[in-house]
Structure 1
Amino acid sequence: MTAPPPIHPILIRGPDDALAAAAAADSIGKPLVLMAPPAAGALWLRGVVERVRKAHPGLEVAGLLDCGDRAGEAQGALAAGLRLVLFTGRPDMAGRLAAIAAARGAALLTRRPPALDLAAQSSAEGRGRHRGPSLEALCRGWLARDQG
């Protein structure tokens, strides 16, 4: 299994999160990986990514769905066209899913990469669910870090 390049996703809970992250990424010329929580679903994430692409046509953006140990959900995410899928289940299933991903030009991750959780950061820093410049600043700082 070939390892994909390191990614630094931003965990989103809705389109407002995604658009703020996209504005930040676009402003500093960094690619963006939007990570959906497990309950979101592949089609929801694909729709959010498409919306971001329309709003920021020059931005390189991908969606990452956390499927946990649910192989069927991971296979469905790949079938839905997602390019990044996180699967933390059995290694034999991961091998099969990695082959499916490779055939589709996608990547299967078996370890959750460090991610910026916008909801946790907003709550911890007293911002609640406000989606203004401070959220963009959080994303810009995360994306600008030397995370290699």
Structure 2
Amino acid sequence: MNSAVAVEVRDTAEAAAVLATAGALVPLLLSPPGAAAWLGPHGWAALIAEAAARVPGVAHRHALDCAAAPGHALAGLRAGLPCLVLDGRHPGFPAVAAAAAEAGAALLPERPKALNLAGLDLGRPAALARLRALIAAWPRSGA
């Protein structure tokens, strides 16, 4: 499996565009910072499922950012999310990390460096080509 390129996605259209332009890369679809507080784990899972349905057959990973809220991370684990981001400096991090290990989920102690699609108008004809070029040039992460 090729190394991941992390891309922050804010909605289904952005997530689907990343999947459509990923090529042989396996993108890590990353929620906006702290999105667990307003989107929740079920909203995030639905966003990812819809994007995958729009662009079927593309390998990808996804992570919900829980900021410094271990309760949101635990809710993500209960919802079956495979990867979460929780501030590793939070005193509750070790307990959530143990729960994540038990659930078979990944828990990242900080956000990976991610490509931000803000300012890229996906409604413009050249936007997908630009996104493809940005993804190809973006540094890979092991996340």
Query: What TM-score, normalized by structure 1, do the two folds share?
Result: 0.78
Q: Per-residue deviation at 1:136?
A: 2.4
Q: Per-residue deviation at 1:133?
A: 4.3
Partner SS for 1:139: helix
Q: Per-residue deviation at 1:137?
A: 2.9
The 5-angstrom pairing of residues 1-148 of structure 1 reads 7-25=4-22, 28-37=23-32, 38=35, 39-88=38-87, 90-119=89-118, 121-122=119-120, 127=121, 130-145=122-137, 147-148=139-140
Q: Per-residue deviation at 1:72?
A: 0.2
Q: Please say which of residues 138-147 and 86-95 is displaced more in the overlay.
A: 138-147
The share of aligned pairs that are identical, in percent, is 30
1:105 maps to a residue whose letter is G
Unaligned runs of 5+ in 2: none
For residue 3 of structure 1, what is the aligned residue in structure 2? none
- Cα separation, 1, equivalents of 2:4 and 2:110: 12
Contact 1:16 1:131 in 2 (8 A): no
- Cα separation, 2, equivalents of 1:53 and 1:24: 13
Contact 2:66 2:73 in 1 (8 A): yes
Partner SS for 1:65: strand
Deviations 1:30-69 (A, max 9, x none): 1122112223221111012111222333211222111110
More helix by share: 1
Deviations 1:63-103 (A, max 9, x none): 21111100000111111111111101545411111111112
Contact 2:6 2:28 in 1 (8 A): yes
- Cα separation, 2, equivalents of 1:138 and 1:107: 31
Q: Per-residue deviation at 1:147?
A: 2.1
